[in-house]
Amino acid sequence: MRPWFLVNRVMIFSRSRKGTLLRTSPSSCSSFICFKFGGCAKLVCSAPIAQLDRVPGFEPGGYRFESCSVQMISIFYHTQDSFADTIFAQLGKGRLHARSLYGYFMRRGTIEGFEVEPEAERLKGEILERTSFELPGYRVVVEDGGTVKFLVDMGEGLEAEAVLIPMKSKTTLCVSSQVGCKMGCTFCETGRMGLLKSLGREEIVAQVAIAVHGLGRQVDNIVFMGMGEPFDNFDEVMGAIGVLCGGLGFGPSRITVSTSGVVDMMDRFTEEADPGVHLAVSVNAPNDEVRKRVMPVNRKWNMAELKGAMARFCAGGKREILVEYVLMEGINDSLESADELAEYLRGLRVKVNLIPYNPQKKDRFAPPGQDVIEAFAKKMKENGYLTLVRQTKGQQIRAACGQLGGVDKVKIWTQTKKIGRMEA
């Protein structure tokens, strides 16, 4: 099980033997950490784990962390069923109460007022003691027009960015699956950062919980179009979708996952995802030559391979794909490009979403003029495709498509090493 947050202090209350459970400090963590001690602890102390060697009474090397495991359960890691199962596995009872506590919390965002019958008070206490309901810290940036960007603390100075986008009658939440991204798309600010961290499912779910319970906003749709390539963090993204559907009550059809074209994982998604979950694919180019220039992923899987994966997703005629196409002046915005794109997509069940390029801190591209955008959209429609031009929202707060993150932040995160980057 993944810890909800890093436990960095240990409180030792008594003499400890091999395998003794030690309560962590601060006690509000309500978590337990299991140490396999090579020797006995002789005193009561509180210290950062990294400094235990320096605590009087501890002999350096007198303890080992080899079987250390955090037992605390983050509510955001679990579906209602898996939370109940986990509590039952630990306590040998409590499945029913765990389920109702989970449902109560997910509806309200608090456990205040959760009551049980008097004879179950002790059981409730045991469940609460093992469960973390804490959300990570976050800070909010608001733009006129209602677009809200919030930055969520992911530890080690890293922040994941999420954006609430009000539409006509509904609100979409764009979540991040990673901090940074290794895919290196040249039109994307996040891509310039390299990959700094892949988020755990509870960290992805927390972004939704912050929007709903922290900011008190209604979220109608969730799109995995924030920082990161969701299929580079496949298992956690799928786990998060499971929690969103089996915990926070989102129907699969309210969720869209967007990929830059990680073909092998697209096939896994086709096999494993609930058929209701939508897939978006960033195509962004009419041919391999252009796509290689703007999306390094095309060097690994070319457009023919990408089309194959899209066809397998659509096979059976029930599912369709949202094709995303960032329009960049002089790169991919000509009418010939529109015809070539239309030809490429022939035979697939797709909708086309045109996204005018959003300005970045160090621009390599520019958005086409409005007349060019409209002509491109018209051409796609003439070719028989349902085509929409995405309205730009959140530019002022750098929350629009392709603007999240930024290389200046990487400089701030001096402690953090990039863990991956594809070069164009």
* Amino acid identity at 391: Q
Part of the chain binding ligand SF4 (CB under 6 A), chosen from 97-105, 148-156, 187-195, 206-214: 187-195
Beta carbons within 8 Å of 30's beta carbon, 6+ residues apart: 72, 128, 129, 130, 131, 132
# binding residues, ligand SF4 (CB under 6 A): 12
Look-up of token digits 């049980």: 116
And the tokens for 59? 């002999």
* Amino acid identity at 418: K
Count Cα atoms within 13 angstroms, Cβ side, for 293: 11
Buried b (16+ CB within 10 A) or exposed e, 175-214: bbbbbbbbbbbbbbbbbbbbbbbbbbbbbbbbbbbbbbbb
Strand 171-174 with 221-224, pairing = parallel
Among 185, 237, 243, 279, binds ligand SF4 (CB under 6 A): 185
Residues 310-329 that bind ligand SF4 (CB under 6 A): none
Q: Which CB atom, from 248 or from 404, has the smaller least distance to ligand SF4?
A: 404
Integer CA distances (angstroms), 399 to 161, 210, 223, 276, in order = 8, 17, 14, 27
Q: Which CB atom, from 188 or from 306, has the smaller least distance to ligand SF4?
A: 188
Among 3, 194, 228, 356, binds ligand SF4 (CB under 6 A): 228
Among 24, 80, 260, 298, binds ligand SF4 (CB under 6 A): 260
Helices (H), 118-188: 121-129
- The answer to whether residue 185 is catalytic is no
As measured in angstroms, the least distance from the Cβ of 145 to ligand SF4 is 23
As measured in angstroms, the least distance from the Cβ of 237 to ligand SF4 is 13
And the tokens for 398? 């750098």
Rule CB under 6 A: say whether 229 interacts with ligand SF4: yes
As measured in angstroms, the least distance from the Cβ of 263 to ligand SF4 is 14
As measured in angstroms, the least distance from the Cβ of 360 to ligand SF4 is 11
Among 3, 94, 136, 191, binds ligand SF4 (CB under 6 A): 191
Among 190, 207, 332, 337, binds ligand SF4 (CB under 6 A): 190
As measured in angstroms, the least distance from the Cβ of 424 to ligand SF4 is 10
Distance CA 282, CA 355 (A): 10
Among 181, 212, 280, 373, binds ligand SF4 (CB under 6 A): 181
As measured in angstroms, the least distance from the Cβ of 188 to ligand SF4 is 3
Part of the chain binding ligand SF4 (CB under 6 A), chosen from 223-231, 329-337, 352-360, 384-392: 223-231
Q: Which CB atom, from 98 or from 165, has the smaller least distance to ligand SF4?
A: 165
Distance CA 368, CA 251 (A): 37
Which amino acids are annotated catalytic?
401
